[in-house]
Structure 1
Amino acid sequence: MGITAINIRNQFRGHVKEIIRGSVVSEIDVQTPFGIVTSVITTRSVDELDLQVGSEVVALVKATEVSIARL
């Protein structure tokens, strides 16, 4: 199955740089041309997606809220 269309506009292609596995959730670092994007997903999803260091992936970012703080 492949994605033919998606409404998420913030998409960053990259490669998995590091996986920090936990018993329930895992941290995935994705190296993109713009820097590292980190995602926390279930360890089950890591296994089902067969993610490994070096895997080519797309990080999809959809935020329902963006907050601004004055410095």
Structure 2
Amino acid sequence: MAGTTDSGDAEQPKKKGLDLSIFLKHVAEVDTAIGKLYLFPLRDSDIRVFKALTASGAIKRFRDFLLLAPTGS
């Protein structure tokens, strides 16, 4: 048994590179009457779609945005 090591004690090397999981997480949770609402940061494409909407009322414009915004998939 000489020469065997316990792998639980060995320190794992850190991976180099960009951790994309920080961009995929929600930034806030809001409790509502129908459940939790998870808020994500705005993307450039979200802002372009919102600016292109022609509805004059704020509520109508926001509803149209939710229907037209890209989902990222």
User: What is the TM-score normalised by the length of structure 2?
Assistant: 0.23
Decide which structure has greater strand share: 1
Structure number with greater Rg is 2
Name the structure, 1 or 2, with higher relative contact order (CA <8 Å, separation 6+): 1
Decide which structure has greater helix share: 2
